[in-house]
Amino acid sequence: MTSFLTKKKTRESFDERISTEPIGTQLCKKYAIKIFGDFVAEKYSGKTIDDIIEELNLIRNTQNQQTYEEALYGVLQDWINWNESRGLGNYTIRIAFSNLRRYLFHLGIKIHEQDIKEYLRFGKRVKEERHPLSDEEYRNIVSGFSRNPRVQAFLLMLGSSGMRMGEALKLKKKDLDFTTKRVKVNIPPDTKTRTGRSTFISNEAKRKLEPFLEKMSSEDYIFGKHGKVPHIHNFSRAMIRMLDKLEMNERYQSNSFRKISTHSFRAYFFTKAARKHGENYAHRLVGHGGYLMQYDRMTEEEKLQMYLELEPDLVIYDQTKNELEINRLRDKVEGLDELKQEVRKLREQQANSDKKILETIRKEGILTN
């Protein structure tokens, strides 16, 4: 008799189980299941994943353990080889296998770590030097969206703040603080790391963003419509179309990934921040965890001041760079003027003090005219 507490493990129950995970994580797991389903249909003449699971359970229940393992890992190795023949990179295949393994575990098919090493062969991982997004490439991409200033604002925010794409898309107007010298972004803790943090955006991004914020309420999503969080794929597809239009479609040989993607803007920020203030500051603003983070405490004033020093390296338009340089020189001149005034006051105070001393000496008859 089946207990009312037990639930049948299905694709639907798996989707329900992962529904609270970040959208990107869910999509990766669903992609792994899809390509495994495509493989099964092609390899076994229209069979489904459910048919494979049923057959494996039959072998496990009617034959010995060795036969079952040979059948299971034979299917998985064929799937790995099939992906290689289709041109998928080794890294992509490993990630897909890891996600597929979780789905099979949900269905009752356990794959042990030691068995993976014994039975399965993956291609060697090849590491390629990552493409650094240049200021010119960044500028050309943003300029390419001249008919869509909302996307321009989005891309400028990514590159000047270090936010993840999913974090930026979930921002509401109330998450922006305009009371500081640079707009402070308070990122809610319901993101990939389940940890909230704050960062800043450049004045360049702020100017593009302000026209959209005027008509928004505090609870409105900055990049959403009708009160809904915008779908990450809408921006990804728009980005891909623009890169193809600009002929920026080079790919890495090891995994066929595009050299420029939406993640490139986050990497752009990290690179600039690390070069200016060191990796610890860069990790802090982009939201990476680290052993030293719990000991390295930084006030909001310190974080902002360091960002102001970093900002000229983050902006992409010459006009903005010139404005920042003019403001820097103006502040420097104002600082010199203030210093001169302080010196003048000190001299006046010293002269007044000397005068009083002389008058006191004369009154006491120590010094005569």
Return the sign of the alpha-carbon dihedral for residues 23, 36, 89, 75: positive
- Global pTM value: 0.71
Return the sign of the alpha-carbon dihedral for residues 60, 61, 65, 71: negative
Let me know if residue 5 belongs to a domain. Answer: no
260 contacts 133 by C-beta, under 8 angstroms: yes
Picking from 255, 27, 223, the residue whose alpha carbon sits closest to that of residue 126 is 255
Provide the domain limits for residue 48: 11-119
- Rounded to an integer, what distance in angstroms lies between the CA atom of residue 28 and that of residue 289? 22
Lowest average pLDDT, out of 99-113, 197-211, 319-333, goes to 319-333
Q: Tell me what the pLDDT averaged over the chain comes to.
A: 86
Let me know if residue 126 belongs to a domain. Answer: no
Let me know whether 303 and 225 are in one domain.
yes
Let me know whether 263 and 344 are in one domain.
no
105 contacts 53 by C-beta, under 8 angstroms: no
Let me know whether 295 and 354 are in one domain.
no
Let me know whether 70 and 102 are in one domain.
yes
Let me know whether 307 and 327 are in one domain.
no
Let me know if residue 127 belongs to a domain. Answer: no
Let me know if residue 125 belongs to a domain. Answer: no
Let me know if residue 249 belongs to a domain. Answer: yes
Token readout for 189 is 């803790």
Identify the CATH number of the domain in which residue 154 sits: 1.10.443.10
Last residue of a domain, one of 77, 92, 119: 119
Let me know whether 282 and 336 are in one domain.
no
Given pLDDT bands bounded at 50, 70 and 90, which one contains residue 142?
very high
Lowest average pLDDT, out of 125-134, 197-206, 308-317, goes to 125-134
Judging by beta carbons within 10 Å of its beta carbon (0-12, 13-18, 19+), is residue 244 exposed, middle or buried? exposed
Let me know whether 234 and 170 are in one domain.
yes
pLDDT at res. 363? 72
Let me know whether 80 and 160 are in one domain.
no
Interval 235-245 mean pLDDT: 93
Let me know whether 285 and 352 are in one domain.
no
pLDDT at res. 291? 46
Let me know whether 70 and 84 are in one domain.
yes
pLDDT at res. 353? 73
Q: What is the pLDDT of residues 18-33, one digit of tens each?
A: 988 877 788 899 999 9
How many separate domains does the chain show? 3
pLDDT at res. 321? 81
Let me know whether 147 and 271 are in one domain.
yes
